[in-house]
Amino acid sequence: MMPELPGRIGRYEIDHRIGAGGMALTYRCRLEGIGGFSKRVVVKILHPDHVGDDAYVQMFLDEARLSARMHHENVAAVFEVGDDHGIPYMVMEHVDGPNLATVTRNIGLQGERPYGHIAHIFAGVCRGLAHAHGLKDDEGKPLGIVHRDVSLGNIVVSRRGVAKVIDFGIAKFADKRNVTQVGLLKGKLHYMAPEQLEGEVDHRADLYQVGVCLYWLCTGRPPFHDDDPARLWKARLEGEVIPPSRFIQGFPPELEEVILTCLATRPDDRWQTGEELADMLEAFCYSHPRWASGPDDVSRWIKQVVPLTEDDEPSQRMRTSTSQARRSLGELMNAPAALPAAEVTGHGEHTLRPDSAASAVRARVGLMAAVALLVLAAVLGLTLGRPTGSDADAEVYLEEANRLADEGKPEEARAMLERAVAADPQDAQLVVAISRLSSRLDAAAAP
C-alpha cells in the first residue's frame, strides 16, 4: 500500500490526489503567499517505488526538461522542477476542467455529440502538438518530438473552452537521456498507429492518434474494437475502419474525410502536419453555420456535460466518490450469489439457458468478487504500482461492455467487463461505473 505524503510537497500544500500510475503520482496543490495570495497547481512526483531506479528517474526528468521547453496555450505548462526528500517532482499548470475520457463517458453511447465543438477542441490539440513537433534545441536542431500517447485521457479541456495536451512522459525526442528499451511498445494499444509496432515513428503517429480520439469522441466507440488482439491489429494494419456515416445518420461527410485521412495506415497518406490538420478542422467549423464553434461555445458545452466545477470542495468530491463506492460494494455483497444465466429477448423477457447455467453462475460470482475487491480498493485508496494507462485500458473495455449491453448482448458484455476488471483500474468513479454495469447485468439475468 502506497502511503500518502504529508500535507505538502516542497512549498506546495496538498489539496488532494488526482491520479496515480506506474511511474508517477499527481496531486492538486496550492501555493500560498503573503497578503492572501493563493495559486492552484498540479504537482507530479516520481512514484516513491522508483526513486532508486536510475532509468525511471531519468525518464521523469526527461519529461520535465521537455515540458519546460513548451510555451503554447494548448499544452499544459511546467513551472518548476525540484525534489522533496530525494523524490523529484514537477509543478504544472492546473487546468480547471475534465479530460476527454470523462467527457465521452458522461455523454454515453447515445448522447448528443456537437461535431463543431469537437472539431474546435481538436484543432487546438493539433496546434499544441504542432508546437511540440516543431521545437528545436539550443543549437537550432529539430528535437523530433513525438508524444506517442495522445489519448482521450491526455487531453484536458478547461472550463474556458481551451484544450490542453498533457503527459509527455513517454515522448520520443532527440535530446532524451533515457533510451527506450528495444522491443518495448510505448503507448496505449487502442490508440497506437500501425508503425508503432515497429518502434520507428515520427510526428504523424500523433496525428493518427488524434484521429482515433476524434472518431471515439464523435461516435462513442473506438475505430477498431475486437476482443481478439490479433484481429484488432489485423484490422488496424489493413485500415479496416467503418466510416461513421455507416451507423450515424447525417454524420458530416467533411468531418468523416478528415478523420479517415488521420487513420490511414501509411503515414504518407495522412495529414502531414498538426497545423494542416488544425486548418482542416477549423475549416469544417467555419464553413458550416450549423457547426460553428469557438471557446465560449465549447465552454458552455463542457459545463453542461461535466457540471462539477472546481469551486466544489475537493473533500466533498472525495466523500461523494467514497460513499458511492461503499454503497456499490454493499449492493454487490448483498446480491444473490447464484443466478442462472439468461438471454434478453426482443421483448425484454428473460429466457433461461440451463445448459450454461452452472458456468454462467461461476463466471458471475467470480466477476462480482473481483468488482467488490476493486471497489474496496477504491474506498481504501490503495495504490498497487500498476502500469500507467491501466485506467485508460479499463475505460476501453467498459465502454465496449456498455455498448454490448445496450445492444442486448449481456454475455458478451460480461466478458468485456471481466477485461475491465482485469485491467485493475484505480479511479474511484471508474470503479463505481464498473460495479454499476455489473449490477445492471446481474439484474437483467435475474429470473
- Which residues form the catalytic set? 149
Which three cell numbers mark 359?
458456468
Nearest to 126 by CA among 213, 237, 215: 213
Find out whether 430 and 438 touch, Cβ atoms under 8 Å. Answer: no
Cell 448482448, residue? Answer: 409
**CA atoms of 9 and 279, how far apart (whole Å):** 41
Q: 140: phi > 0 → left, psi -120 to 50 → alpha, else beta; which?
A: left
